[in-house]
Amino acid sequence: MVKIDFFDSTLRDGLHATNHRISEDNIEDYCQAMDYSGMHVIIIGHGNGLGASSLQVGISSLHEREMLKVARDNLEKTKLGVYMIPGFGTIKDNLITAIDCGVDIFAIGSHATEADTTRQHIQFLAAQGKEVYGVLMMYHMASTEKILEECQKMQDYGASGVVLMDSAGASTPELVKKTISTLYEGLNIKIGFHGHNNLGLAISNSYIAIQEGASIIDGTLRGFGAGAGNCQLEALVALLEKNEIKTSAKLYNMLDASELLMPEIMDKEMGIDPISIVSGMSGVFSAFKVPVLKAAKEFNVDPKDILIELGHRKVIGGQEDMIIEIAEKLANARVSDIDYYLESLL
């Protein structure tokens, strides 16, 4: 049996797709159904993590303390986890509260080149004896050498492992193979991969990551998540079993939960639409999809043009305000082009 720790982020990343709306009943039912499915951890909370509920990135329908309490009461075998990006959340306001709520596993994230921002948080959790992982988002934006350097920092801070987030769904199989193999050779801790499906590669990229030494796969049921969604865990487990790679995952349990519960949680099925494809091609954070569509409608511009410009500017999560700026500039540019055309006719 291959030792793979499955991180189930359905009730975290998936909330991007519902504008961070979820009910206590959804959390209770999901945790009960998935508790014996062989997941290492079920991660709960706002799509952007602890402390992220805000007007800028979306307000949660439930306070994170409520979400964690319901999940804790309904998990026996599976660990309870949270994700946090320093700047959204803090040690005092969020991590200590999460510890008090009985959280077992913590993932602390940063942009691919900013592992320094996670130092005090990882060190604090490690000192508390907690299982803590470092997460590098938008890893495609940095060289493989730089990614290794940032992961080594997280290792030195006390992380039990590092997880690469393909936040834009921009990874190619070649990039996954090169990066994971480099980390496998250069680190002494676990390596993980969180794939997005903007280019239709989340499952295959996750499978390649396993082949290259990753022992953590972070994904969701039905691929529920930002943009075109994440690596669909039940499909990946089926692929592994088809290739006679046995894991601790209980496929039938996962399939039952996928069939019976996910329609109640999801607003719609995940899919690879034109906007998600352009987002992946441009390397733009998948969670920008909803605000980009909103801005495009408001300013009557093509959302694909907004995404292309966001990619050119290398915009990252936390810079959502630039979406409006770009949409407005595109609208003004279009008006200027029309005026120029009319003047040329006179």
Q: Tell me which residues are annotated as active site.
A: 16
Distance CA 262, CA 158 (A): 36
| Tokens of residue 93, six digits | 């306001």
Phi, psi of 67 (to 5 degrees): -60, -45
What would the two tokens of residue 136 be? Answer: 């590098």
Measured in whole angstroms, the distance separating CA 32 from the mean position of its chain's CA atoms is 23
Dmax over Cα atoms in the chain, in whole Å?
77
Contact assessment for residue 95 and residue 124, using Cβ atoms and an 8 Å cutoff? yes
Residue 255 phi/psi, 5° resolution?
-65, -40
Q: Choose among 229, 238, 252, 253: nearest CA to 207.
A: 238
* CB within 8 Å of 340: residues ≥ 6 apart: none
Helices 173-186 & 144-157 angle (0-180, nearest 10): 40
Phi, psi of 126 (to 5 degrees): -60, -40
- CB atoms near residue 341 (< 10 Å): 9
- Given CA atoms 333, 334, 339, 344 in this order, what sign does their dihedral have? positive
Q: By 3-state DSSP, what share of the chain in percent is helix, strand and coil, each rounded to 5?
A: 50, 15, 35
Residue with tokens 């993980």: 192
How far apart (Å, rounded) are the C-alpha atoms in residues 320 and 150? Answer: 25
